[in-house]
Each structure stands twice: as structure tokens, then as C-alpha cells.
Amino acid sequence: MSLAALSLCALILTLVVSCISSANVGFLALVLAWVVGVYLGGMRVAEVVAGFPTGLFLTLVGITLLFSQAQANGTLDRFAQRAVRACRGNAFVLPMMFFVLTAALSSIGPGNIASTALMAPMGMAVAGSYGISPFLMAIMIANGGSAGSLSPFAPTGIIVNGIVANIGLPSVPWTIYLNNFIAHAAVAFTGYLLLGGWRLFARQAPGAASIAAAVGASRLSTPAATVSPVPAAPASSAFEPRHWLTTAVIVALIVGVIFFRLDVGMGAFAAAVILTLARAADESEAVRRMPWKVIMMVTGITVLIALLEKTGGMALFTDFLARLATPATSTAVTAFFTGLVSIYSSTTGVVLPAFLPTVPGLIQRMGGGDAMAIVSSMNTGGHLVDVSPLSTLGALCLAAAPPGTDTRALFNQLMAWGLSMTVVGALVSWVFFGLL
């Protein structure tokens, strides 16, 4: 067997293990890259390790440290509670508001997992208190988190934009973000209305005080099974100096990145240091909350992908996709396959780092195609299925289900939605990024 085929087998093994095991496949990918590269390919260890994405690693650490501080000191929680209390009038609006709020939080930097972990206990508590289907609330919250996940300030957006730059495609971070946002918004709102959301239109929501009580209860009863749990809300939700300082440094970082070309990773480190020195956040607690599993998963897979590119294994992987797709169907095919694997595997940590590097070669072998359309299709297809309870976002919503919920029925509903999104994602991508 050729070295290219061996390296491709290593990638396939990593994808399979990521689907059937909870082990961090980033470590497995590093080991396989070392074994295949050094002992089967005759490379030096330094050549294999050269594929480690140092810049991406530092950027992810910096941005997740800053927003872990903002989560740990209660800043994000206070903004979320105020937004919930501001929602008045019709119960029909509440799930839509949670979509917008989760998407906004995800977009400014925490990313989809942290924003969903923050909003799921609140949203599901509100749903239970006011007769809103937990399933409808779950698809709005989880899709909201995914809708904002490709922001240039969010971990997944940083990963995707880094891969796009490495494969030589134009840098269009806001186009990538908006394509994903629009697709998720269209699917989430359509599903919400078709599956019963319209019945809430005539139902009056409770007053601000009643909503606040439900939100407060949710903070005190966050399920132990949730990922990146959020602490119970303090007795007062008033902004203290540390919260204003945290808000100020986050706003300054965003302004610096957008208008002054500030490096987002180094800027985030600087902002985190300011908060630590000012004693506005507990650095140790923030480091503990950082998504180290995802960070190591991404970097480990990236090392293995770099080996595939050196050995020719990526060309074999691309050939497989090219046999299934044409320039006219490439958006649907790529969205379907990324979605199918993402049901059982990490979209951010495994699927996108594995699939996105194939885009240039895929276009070459198909004899044409729109690179950014395929990139957006992979992003959308991979993320739409994440409402599945086998994915982190769906699991967070399931774990936060209000008392009295038939969790087995909710599991089945979320699973059916996630599986159906492989086909829906393919159709949406074909229409949005192919036909339109």
C-alpha cells in the first residue's frame, strides 16, 4: 500500500473513532501522523510536527480565554438575563428571541457551544413555565448558536478562515459568516413555524417579573450533565465595575479587529491580561473553562491533514468526492457528506478540518465549480445537524429540559431533526449556494 493510501486510511480511522468513541481524536491523529510519517514514510519527527498550526492554536487559546473570563465573572450571564426580561407581549416571540440572543452571543466571540450552554437552561426553563414546546425552543437555541458560529471572532470562524487562507482561497470572513447565518435562520424559523410555533401567536407571555423568576430558577438548577456549565446567577443582576470593564475590553477588541487590523488572538490575550491584572476575572477558573478538548482536537487533526497533503493522501480523498459530484451538484453532495459525518462527530474539531482542504482539488477534478459556494455548503451542512442529541448543542438542550418533559420523546424528536438535516442541508446548500 502506498504512503498516500496509508495516510488516507489514518484519516478514515480517525473519522470512524470520532463517531464511535468519546476519546479525543486529536491525540489519536497526532499519534497516527507520527507513526505513518516517521516509521512508514521515513520522515523526520520535525517534518511531521511542522504541520502543527501554531498561529491557530494561539488564536484559539487567546479568544477562548477572554470569553471564558467573561462567562466566569458573570458578564455574559447578565446581558442574557436582561435580554430575556426585555421580552414582553406574545409567547410567539420568546423562542425567536432566544434564537437572536444565542446567535448574537455566539457571534461576538464565545462561539456556539458556550453560547448554547449559557442560553439552554434559560430557554428551556422559560419553555417549561409557559407551555412552549421544548423541542421548538431547542431547535431555535441550537440553530441560533450555530448561526453565529462562523463569526470572525468565534472559535469555529477562526478555524474555518484559517483553513480557507491555508488552501489559497480569498479571505472573505464576513461572507462565510453571513452565508451560514442566513441558511440557519431560514431553516430554524421555517421549522419553528411549520412544526407548531404559529400556535403560540395568540398566547400572551408573562410579565417581566415572572420571566425573571423562571430565568433565575434556571440558573440555580443548571443540569449537571451539561457541557461547560454556567454558574448560578448572583442575587443581583446589576452591572458591577468588573462587568463594565469586561464589556469595554471586548468592545475594544472587536473595534480593533474590524477597523485597525488587530490580530484577534494577540488582542484577546492582551484583553485577558487586563482583566486578570484588574482582578475583574478569575484567571484560573477561566482557564479551567476553556474548551481544551476542541482546541487539541482541531490542532491534532490539522497535523494529520498536513501529512496527507505531503504524501498525496488528500488527493485520494478528493478523488473520492469528485466521483460523486459535478459542478452542478457539488454544493448538495458536500453538504450531505459533511452533515452525515457531523451527526456522530465534531463539526468544528474533526469534520471541517478534514473536508475543507479538499475544496481546491475537488474543483480541479470536477473541471469547475465555485470554491466559496462549496466552502459555505460544507459549513452549513456540518452545522445544521448539530441539533442532534448526539452533538454537543443538542445534548445541552436535552440536558436542560424542564421538569415533566418526556426526555425520551425529546431525544427522538431532536434525533429525527438532526438526521433530516443531512437532506435539508443538501437542499438548502444547493439552492442558496448553487442555484442562487
Summarize pLDDT for 70-79 with one digit per residue, the tens. Answer: 989 999 888 8
Question: How far apart (Å, rounded) are the C-alpha atoms in residues 180 and 349?
Answer: 18
> What is the number of alpha carbons within 13 Å of residue 147 lying toward its C-beta?
24
Compute the distance between CA of residue 56 and CA of residue 402 in angstroms, rounded to an integer: 38
Per-residue pLDDT averaged across 203-222, rounded?
A: 54
> Could you give the CA distance from residue 11 to residue 344 in angstroms, rounded to a whole number?
16
Angle at 195 between CA 193 and CA 196, to 5 degrees: 70
Residues 171, 323: Cα–Cα separation, whole Å:
28
Helix 241-260 vs helix 75-85: angle between axes, to the nearest 10 degrees? 90
Q: Rounded to 5 degrees, what are φ and ψ at 152?
A: -60, -15
- Tell me the per-residue pLDDT of 317-355, one tens digit each, with 9 for 90 and over: 999 899 999 999 999 999 999 999 998 888 999 999 999
H helices present in 195-291, as ranges: 208-220, 241-260, 264-277, 283-289
Nearest to 68 by CA among 237, 290, 220: 290
* Range 33-40 contact pairs with CB under 8 angstroms and sequence separation of 24 or more: 33/303, 33/304, 33/306, 33/307, 35/10, 36/3, 36/6, 36/7, 36/10, 36/307, 36/311, 37/7, 37/307, 37/310, 37/311, 40/3, 40/6
Mean pLDDT value across residues 379-384? 97
Query: Are 126 and 84 within 8 A, CB to CB?
Result: yes
Condensed to tens digits (0 to 9), the pLDDT of residues 224-262 reads 333 343 333 344 578 999 999 999 999 999 999 888 989
pLDDT classification of 131: cutoffs 50, 70, 90: confident
Residue 91 CA to chain centroid, in angstroms? 28
Among 317, 363, 319, 361, which Cα is nearest to 341's? 317
DSSP 389-407: TTSHHHHHHHHTPPTT--H
Q: Is the pLDDT of residue 130 over 80?
A: no
- Return d(Cα 307, Cα 2) in angstroms, integer: 14
Indicate whether 65 pLDDT > 90: yes
Q: What is the DSSP letter of 344?
A: T
Which amino acid, one-letter code, is at 371? A
Q: Cell numbers of 419, please?
A: 438526521
Query: What is the rounded distance in angstroms from the CA atom of residue 41 to the CA atom of residue 268?
Result: 39
pTM above 0.75, yes or no: yes
- Res. 205 pLDDT band, cuts 50 70 90: low
Q: What pLDDT does 89 receive?
A: 47
In this prediction, residue 230 carries a pLDDT of 39
Cell numbers found for residue 416: 429525527
* Cβ proximity of 393 and 400 under 8 Å: no
Contacts for 270 with CB less than 8 Å, ≥ 6 apart = none
Residue type, 104: A
- d(CA 51, CA 303) in angstroms, rounded, equals 5
Mean pLDDT of the chain: 89
Give dist(CA 214, CA 53) in Å, integer.
44
Cell matching residue 213: 423568576
Cell digits of residue 229:
456549565
Determine which of 145-159, 299-313, 394-408 has the lowest per-residue pLDDT on average: 394-408
CA distance 281 to 74: 9
Question: CA separation (Å) from 372 to 93, 347, 399, 417?
Answer: 34, 18, 36, 27
